Amino acid sequence: MILINLLPHREASRKRRREAFYATLGASAVLGCLIAGAAFLWYQAQISSQQEKNSFLQSEIKKLESEIKEISTLQAEIAALRARQQAVEDLQGDRNLPVHLLNELVRQLPDGVYLTSMKQDNQTVTLQGMAQSNERVSELLRNLGNNSPWLVKPELVEITSTNINLSPRDQRRVANFTMRIGLKRPTDAQKAAAGAATAASAAVKG
């Protein structure tokens, strides 16, 4: 016996396929929304975490900046204290400068040279005097430049020849001179002596 199906099975099959397609499409949409929502939440969490880190870093940077300012202030105060200490040491040492100056002039003046005036302006001393010859003045310059730990950079400002009367019948030709010299402070002299001692010790070891 032959059975014949007269129902519209093709329309029913197409309907089932459409329903399956729409169901799959809906499930895909829901799944996509869930994935997008999860990704959004994850990114929001990452952004929040990064913002917290940035806030922490900014607060630490502000702390460091304030500490740096405090260090700069301390360094300025230390520099000011050192400058004051140096000024006090210079003032204490300057009290003995006239003694050192006179001692050195007595030691370094060659025979035949006489000083007539002396003027000190800070660390510069101006000397005026007479010498029996120009050679005596040159000898004085060499002595002051090479043999004195307290006097530096002697400079001849002026030298002129003139005659002086020793008696009504005796005249002598002399050289009038003016020169400038630098005067070391005791602290500078001590530093120079320490540097020379260090160099000598290194040379001996070498």
For residue 69, give the amino acid letter.
K
d(CA 95, CA 195): 24
CB 125 within 8 A of CB 184: no
Residue 1 lies in a domain: no
Predicted local distance difference test score (pLDDT) of residue 114: 85
Predicted local distance difference test score (pLDDT) of residue 23: 84
Predicted local distance difference test score (pLDDT) of residue 9: 61
Whether 103 and 185 share a structural domain: yes
Which domain covers residue 69, as residue numbers? 22-95
Whether 67 and 106 share a structural domain: no
Domain count, the chain: 2
CB 140 within 8 A of CB 128: no
Tokens of 49: 């975490």
Residue 76 lies in a domain: yes
Predicted local distance difference test score (pLDDT) of residue 25: 85
d(CA 143, CA 179): 13
Which residue, chain included where needed, has tokens 């020793």? 166
pTM: 0.47
Predicted local distance difference test score (pLDDT) of residue 5: 55
Whether 109 and 185 share a structural domain: yes
Last residue of a domain, one of 47, 64, 95: 95
Backbone dihedral angles phi then psi of residue 106, each to the nearest 5 degrees: -65, -40
pLDDT < 50: residue spans in the chain = none
